[in-house]
Structures are given as structure tokens and as C-alpha cells.
Structure 1
Amino acid sequence: MKLNRRTFIGASAAAASALAAPTVWGAAHGRPKVVVIGGGAGGATAARYIAKDSDGGIDVTLVEPTRKYYTCFFSNLYLGGFRDFESLGHTYGKLASDYGINVVHDWAVGVDRDARKVTLASGAVLDYDRLVISPGIDFVEGSVPGWDINAQNEMPHAYKAGSQTQLLKAQVENMREGGLFAMVAPPNPYRCPPGPYERVSMVAHVLKAKNPTAKILILDPKEKFSKQALFEEGWQKHYPGMIERIGPDFGGDKVEVRPDSMEVVIDGEVQKVDVCNVIPAQKAGRICELAGITDGRWAPVVPHTMQSRMDENIHVLGDASAQGDMPKSGFSANSQAKVCATAVRGALTGSKVFPAKFSNTCWSLVATDDGIKVGATYEATDEKIASTGGFVSQTGEDPELRKRTYEESLGWYAGITADMFG
């Protein structure tokens, strides 16, 4: 089946299971209240499905600071010149008008778990019966010596889409002739496992056209990475001699950066660079720490319901969760959100809850019409979300198949953003 906007939403809705119309309990106290923190692939999807499938039986409030949400997934295609920036931006108007969701543009700065209240930066306080937290990632301070968030204008991370993505694109396009682009890749686990290497591909695509004598240096603390054979085959085919990767055997795990002088230090050796994309180690978004539901880095969850293992009235989705085998991706967050929505409606309205099943696919673009993918299906066990089968593109595939894979990814993007934002 070719994946497009309609088939993605239909298949996803079927996987989430259409439930019988719920009967609201606790009516004497008004409708049950759900607060969702974070308006990305996890939060927006959960808010929409809880509101839509409860048919007004649950009061849903979505807290998201930005009025226009730019997807991190597909932002590499903007870097490579395959999409314009505004195509990544999505607003929340339909969630409010079509589904009755109260969309609040503010920062959540505190969670009182005993009182079941969320405090916002404005001072407002929201009551909840269930809380869904899907805040994405924050960065681990000190994980790249010499870099902190104050250095993001000199050495952007661009791992939260928006102005950082625009900045990195401008830096790449304005590199001096024959200059050096360096990437400090993150350690596992992190958002979008193939993401840094698709980004390298897209930067190479731009440089090949505009600055063909430029070089790319990847400084990588990992011994291996997602879809490695596919990316390396593509780099050799499309960008021969341009890309070098230094892994931990040669100092890729011993990197310091000097933003003021635009230098990287690799196991004691100083290298001058023209552009440096630093992608630090990652952790659950800050609100998870403030709520006291992390293991120090991520937020452990019960796989069947995505409930926090530390508070049954809180569900954690997407990149922030520690759930088992699923990668941290937009598709994963969207899939988990539907399981969460079913569980929340079951708990608050008595509607039927079906066994949790999940899926994920990660597409990457290596060059024009050269798309690759990896994916899997999953089910919930008591210990973790466990993989039940997977697939991956193969080296040496026919160019026409690679083109179809890329086109499939475009259909998925249209589908998932419609699924998130209505």
C-alpha cells in the first residue's frame, strides 16, 4: 500500500481502535480534565484523539509555548533545499475550533502531583485528572566540553526546529570556498537515530552544488549508527571524498569545542572549522524533572498505557519517555499518543481499552530521489515496548525503488501532520 495522507491517518486510526461512545463518570464534578504539556507529535496527537474520541466528554487543555510548531522531522530536507521553511510550520487553530481543545500558549513550569495541578509561567494554574507530558528533549549540560546553550548561535544544534534550523542553513550556504563543516554527533539514546547522518547528507548535497571543494567532518562517540551501511554507500556514490567520520577508536568520543575561535579539539588535536553543528547528549524535557518523574535522564513508563512508573495519573510520550525498543522519533510519539489516548479515555470514561500496539518508520534522504527507511512493529510487555518485527532498506537497491521510498516519506509527512493538527 502506498503511504499517503489518507492511508496514514486511516491506518493509524485503525491501529488505535475505534471505541464505543464513552459514558462520562464523575459528572457531578463536571467533565474529567486532561492537561497535555507539549504540542508536538506526541502531545498534539494525544490531545486531538482524547477530545475527538470522547466526543466532548473530556475537557482537554493543550499547553504549548509556540503559536506555530516547526517539526524537527523533515527539517533536514529544508537544510538540503528540498523543502521551504514554512512547510515545516503548523498551527493549532483546528484543534481549538474543530475539537474544542483549550490551547494555551505558555510554558508549564511546575507540576504538583499531590494536588494534580500544573503551574504556568504566567502564574495560571490548571487542574487535571490525568496529565499527559510530551515535552521532547533538552540537552545534558557539559556533555560536549566547551559548549552550552549560550554557544548555540556560534555552533548551532538545530535539534529543536525553528530559528536554529534557519541559522545552520545560512551558515552552511555562506561557508568560505573549500571550508570545513564539522558535526559533533550525540551519544545514544537521542532524538531520531538517523537524523545526524541524514543532516550530513543534506549538507553535502548543498556543498556539492555551491562549494564542491568543501569538506565534512563527523566526530562521533558511537561505534556504529542507524542505517550506517546505507548512508556510507550513498556518501560514496553521491559525495565521494567529501565526508570523513571519526569514531571513538580515533578520538570521536574525546571532543572539545571552542565556539569563540571556531575550533574543535579531537583527543588533544586542534582543528579549525568554518561551521560546527554540535548535537549534545539529550534528556527528557525539563518539565519531567520538575514533575519528579525521571530516572535522572528519561521518564520511565508502563508500556501498556504510557503511564509514568512514578505516578499513575501522568502519561509520558515520545522522546522524553524511557519505554524500551522504540526509537525516539515523531512516528513513535504519534503511535504512543494513540495508545495513551485510549488508556486515558478508558480510565476517565469507562470506554473499552484494547491491547497496546505500536509502529514506527524513519525515512532519510541521502540525495535527490535517494530515500532510505528503517522501521518496526511493537507490542507492550510488562517490562518494555518490545519489537515484534522490522524492516530496513538494502544496499544496492534500484534507483526507482529509492525514489518511491522518498515519495512515500512525503505522503507520511502530510499524513502525520494532519493527524497531529487536524
Structure 2
Amino acid sequence: MTLNRRHFMGTGAALAAALSAPMVMGQSRPRVVVVGGGAGGATAARYIAKDSNGAIDVTLIEPSRTYYTCWFSNLYLGGVRTFDSLGHTYGALAADGINVVHDYAVGVDRDAKTVSLAGGGSLPYDRLILSPGIDFKDGAMPGWDVSAQNAMPHAYKGGSQTQLLKAQLEAMPEGGRFIMVAPPNPYRCPPGPYERVSMVANYFKYNNPTASILIVDLKEKFSKQALFEEGWQRHYSGMIERLGPDFGGANVSVNPAEMTVDIDGAVEKGDVVNVIPAMQAGRIVHQAGLTEGDWAPVNAADMSSKMDADIHILGDASAQGDMPKSGFSANSQAKVAAMAVRGALTDSRVFPAKYSNTCWSLIHAVDQPDGVKVGANYEATEEKIASTGGFISQPGEDVGLRADTYRESLAWYDAITSDMFGAA
């Protein structure tokens, strides 16, 4: 699958032209509040405002004035991208008529249909979209909580944690050791921890070649495993070791004060320790009473909550059926939800939901880039978002194809961030 910005943006533009609704005159505009300005929330806000031609009043609540993508942050760790290249602002959305509120949403009153803000006051809604991403489960990793994230960063939310981990890698002594504790399923971006290992190895190869990497994994297997292991052997032979559940990886605790990881009684010391804990839906979704267990169940046809038809839950926070939790998935879900919300509030036409996802990973960056991908298309069923067929890179592919796959990922990054933020 070859993706370019024109194709990616064109699909949304064609849909907008086919579905745009006229301004509802002679009455107050219906109100949509969107919580979370990432791949799900920013996309939903933009498409609702744009495709309704101003018929819907849209407010986006996002505390950060600059949004740093978690996807592609591994490339910053590997020395491939600058940190600034990951940052995006909300000025174009505001210029398009979206009311951008930089604050924290701290509560949802589903009876009164209001969202309360940390800074005071509340916002009324006719439809609410929640796309808060992930939070970490308390007590999921013995010895670690967010108070220890400066000693053992997770770097699994874009921003300062990513910068901290990069600084720790750069300060690591020659021949030092990097330990990553990988998360249990399900979690944001299934290939992400292993792309991180690849990019840390890429950095070490050219800056600290005697350094070593230990992966402590709570899972028996992981996304794109054959591709990553082939790439690690090819590019970083002898540098990377992985311990899964068969070797104690299911019984792990950490000691941030000592910078150690206890693996079924065997204590391993690291110079840099990256702990990626178990995850759950962002807190606002739990506060609103919209979760079953860790995630929010949704109707596959429109991403609406199974507990409240006037609330739609996008991206990592939702229980997504066969779809992985990824930026591409959230962007795809946002367009389905935006169409459903606009249809409900302006009586415009709604088409059957179609979803898609692709996850690219960079294994090696210098000289000949080694990029791989996995993806699928999906449809809505009564039970879930169901896969209708997928694809994945294959071991032993030509180096030219792998370089093309990496360049395809660069085109996607530019396309999706433009789709989210309306930037040129």
C-alpha cells in the first residue's frame, strides 16, 4: 500500500463534499465538545466543524498548547528526527472556527450534559467526544508509579518524558546498559516498544557501540516479532537480549532508587531503565462511568459509548475490537464519529462505517533505512470493529523495498498531522 498526502487528504475532502450540511438557520447551533487534542480529538473537531459548514458549534478541550506526537518519538530517540519536528499547535483549528480551550477536563455530568474544567466553569454539550488517550494503571508495576518517572521514564506520552529519556541515553556511560520493561497487552501502539529498542540500538551503534540492551517482557510474543528479531540480528548483532515469561519476565518489580529490575529473583542493574507500565483509558472516561474494566466499550457503527449514546469515545481509550490502539486508528475512528455526530445534529446523510490502520516501524536508520509495516481494513459488526483483511512486511525483503516503506511512513506523518491540525 502506497500512501501519500494527496490520497490521504483526498478521501476526507471527497467525503466532506458529498456530506456537507447547510447552516441551520433560525435556531441556536447544536454544541459538540471534544476532550483531547490528539489524533482522535483534533481530527473529530476539525471534520465536524468543516463538514457542517458552521452549523455546529465545536469546542476542543486540550491542556497542551503544543501537541507532541508519541508516534515518531522513537525516531527522535534514535537521532533521526528533531524534537521540534514532533510538535504541532492548534492555531489553524482556531482559525477555522473551533473554540480551542487550553484546560483540563476534570468531570462529566451526563445528566446535565456538561463538562467541568480544572480552571473553573463548565461547558454544555449536545454531543460529547472523549479522546483522552491512555493513563497508567496504579500498582501495575511493583516499585514504580508516576512519582518515579523521572528516575525510570516511561516516555509513552509525547513531550517532556521523551526528552528526558533521550537525555539519559546521551549521558549513559560508555559500555552502559539500557533496560526496557515492556507493557502487557493491550496497550498503545503494539510495535512501539520494539521500535524504541531498535532506535536506541541505532543511537548506540554510532555513539556508544559497546552498550547493551535488555528487554524484560511480560508477553510471550509481540507485534512484528519476526521482523524486529531479523533486523536486530542484521544491524545490531550481540547488542540486544530479550527475556520473556519463560525466563521470568512475567514476575518483575523495579527499584528506582537503585536503578535495578528484579526478574523472578534475579536482580539486573541498568544505567537507564525505561518502564512502560500497563495502561488503561484516560481518567476522564473512568470518571464519566463509561468503562468496563480498563477500557470503554463502544458501538462499532459510530464509536458511541454503549452506556451513553450521546458520547463517542475514540482512540486508545476505547475497546476497539480487532483494531490496534494507534494514531492511524484514532484518526480513522474520528472520521466515522464526526460523520455520525454531524448526521445526528444536522439530519445529514451518514454512510456505513469503514476503518483502516497501518503501523510503520523503523528498525535501522543510517545508510539504508530498514522500515517495516503492518495494517488492515475493518468494518463495523454488531459485536465489534472486525478486520476484513490485512498485510504485513515479510522477512528477507529487498533493502530498496524497506527504504521505500520508511519513506512511505514519512509521507503518512505529514499527511495525518495536516489532517489533524489543518496545517499546510
Contact 1:24 1:350 (8 Å CA) reproduced: no
Please, which moves more after superposition, 207-216 or 41-50? Answer: 207-216
Q: 1:17 to 1:392 in 2, by over 3 A?
A: farther
CA shift for structure 1 position 163? 0.6
What letter is aligned with 1:391? F
Q: 1:81 aligns with which of 79, 82, 94?
A: 79
Q: Post-superposition shift, 1:328?
A: 0.1
User: Equivalent residue of 2:285, what SS?
Assistant: helix
Partner of residue 149, structure 1: 146
Once residues 278 and 394 of structure 2 are traced to their aligned partners in structure 1, the CA distance between those partners, rounded to angstroms, is 29
1:47-86 aligned at under 5 Å gives the runs 47-86=45-84
Kindly indicate whether the alpha-carbon contact (under 8 Å) linking 2:23 and 2:53 is maintained by their aligned counterparts in 1.
Answer: no
- Are positions 1:287 and 2:284 aligned together? yes
5 Å matches for 1:360-371? 360-368=357-365, 369-371=369-371
Aligned to 2:101: 104
Distance in 1 separating the partners of 2:217 and 2:78: 21
Distance in structure 1 (CA, Å) of the matches to 2:418 and 2:356 = 18
Mean CA deviation greater in 116-125 or 4-13: 4-13
- C-alpha distance in 2 between matches for 1:17 and 1:324: 27
Is 2:21 the counterpart of 1:22? Answer: yes
Show the 5 A alignment for 1:68-217: 68-97=66-95, 99-217=96-214
**How far did residue 253 of structure 1 move?**
1.2
Q: Which moved more, 1:206-215 or 1:394-403?
A: 206-215
How far is 1:7 from its partner? Answer: 2.0
User: What secondary structure sits across from 2:198 in the alignment?
Assistant: helix
Residue identity in the other structure for 2:30? P
Q: Which amino acid aligns with 2:107?
A: G
Cα deviation, 1:179-219, whole Å, max 9, x if unaligned, reads 11000000000000000000000000011111111110000
Following superposition, the deviation at residue 17 of structure 1 comes to 6.1
Kindly provide the amino acid, as one letter, of the partner of residue 331 in structure 2: N
Rounded to whole Å, the distance in 2 between the matches of 1:395 and 1:20 is 43
Query: What amino acid is the match of 2:18?
Result: L
The Cα of 1:124 is off from its aligned counterpart by 1.7
Say yes or no: does 1:300 pair with 2:297. yes
Q: Distance in 1 between matches of 2:222 and 2:19?
A: 43
1:206 and 1:76 map into 2 onto residues whose CA distance is: 11
- 1:379 maps to which residue? 379
Q: Which runs of 5+ in 2 are unaligned?
A: none
Q: Secondary structure at the match of 1:364?
A: strand
Preserved CA contact (<8 Å) 2:183 2:218: yes
Using the TM superposition, give the Cα deviation of residue 28 of structure 1 relative to its aligned residue in structure 2, in angstroms: 5.8
Partners in 1 of 2:405 and 2:100 — Cα distance? 35
Aligned-partner Cα distance in 1 for 2:110–2:3? 41
Asked if the contact 1:302/1:323 (under 8 Å) is kept, the reply is no
What per-residue deviation string (whole Å, max 9, x for no partner) do you get for residues 18-62 of structure 1? 43432566x665100000000000000000000000000000000
**CA distance in 2 between partners of 1:176 and 1:378 (Å):** 47
Give 2:73's aligned amino acid.
Answer: S
| Separation (CA, whole Å) in 2 of partners of 1:110 and 1:366 | 41
- Matched residue, 2:7: 7
> Could you say which residue in structure 2 is the equivalent of 1:403?
403
**In 2, Cα distance between equivalents of 1:255 and 1:407:** 38
Contact 1:265 1:271 in 2 (8 A): yes
Partners in 2 of 1:18 and 1:230 — Cα distance? 41
TM-score, normalization by structure 2: 0.97
Displacement, 1:268?
A: 0.9
Task: Kindly state the Cα deviation for residue 3 of structure 1 after the two structures are TM-superposed.
Answer: 2.0
Question: Any idea what SS the aligned residue of 1:359 has?
Answer: strand
Cα displacement string for residues 143-162 of structure 1 (whole angstroms, at most 9, x for unaligned residues): 11000000000000000010
- Please give the residue correspondences for 1:196-345 in structure 2 after superposition, counting only pairs within 5 Å: 196-345=193-342
Percent identity over the alignment?
72
Deviation of the 1:280 alpha carbon: 0.3
Q: Is the 8 A contact 2:184 2:219 kept in 1?
A: yes
Partners of 1:41 and 1:346 lie apart in 2 by: 21
Task: Verify: 1:35 aligned to 2:33, yes or no.
Answer: yes
What's the TM-score once normalised by structure 1's chain length?
0.98
Please report how far the alpha carbon of residue 90 of structure 1 lies from its aligned counterpart in structure 2 after TM superposition.
0.2
> Does the CA contact (< 8 Å) of 1:12 and 1:335 recur in 2?
no
Q: Give, in angstroms, the shift of residue 79 of structure 1.
A: 0.5
Letter in 2 for 1:39: G
Q: Counterpart of 1:355?
A: 352
Q: Residues of 2 paired with 1:28 and 1:358: CA distance?
A: 36
* Distance in 2, Cα, partners of 1:172 & 1:21: 49
Deviation at 1:421, TM superposition (A): 0.0
Whichever residue aligns with residue 56 of structure 2, its letter is I
Amino acid corresponding to residue 384 of structure 2 in structure 1 = K
Distance 1:378 1:291 in 2: 28
> What is the rounded CA distance, in whole Å, between the counterparts of 1:49 and 1:284 in structure 2?
23
Which sections of structure 1, spanning at least 5 residues, go unmatched? none
Aligned partners of 1:94, 1:6: CA distance in 2, in Å? 19
Q: What SS does structure 1 have at the residue aligned with 2:46?
A: helix
RMSD of aligned alpha carbons:
1.1
Contact 2:42 2:60 in 1 (8 A): yes
| Residue in structure 1 matched with residue 413 of structure 2 by the alignment | 413
SS at match of 2:397: coil
State the distance in 2 between where 1:12 and 1:214 align: 46
Give every structure 1 segment of 4 or more consecutive aligned residues whose post-TM-superposition deviation is greater than 4 Å: none
Distance 2:261 2:175 in 1: 18
Q: Distance in 2 between matches of 1:13 and 1:371?
A: 29
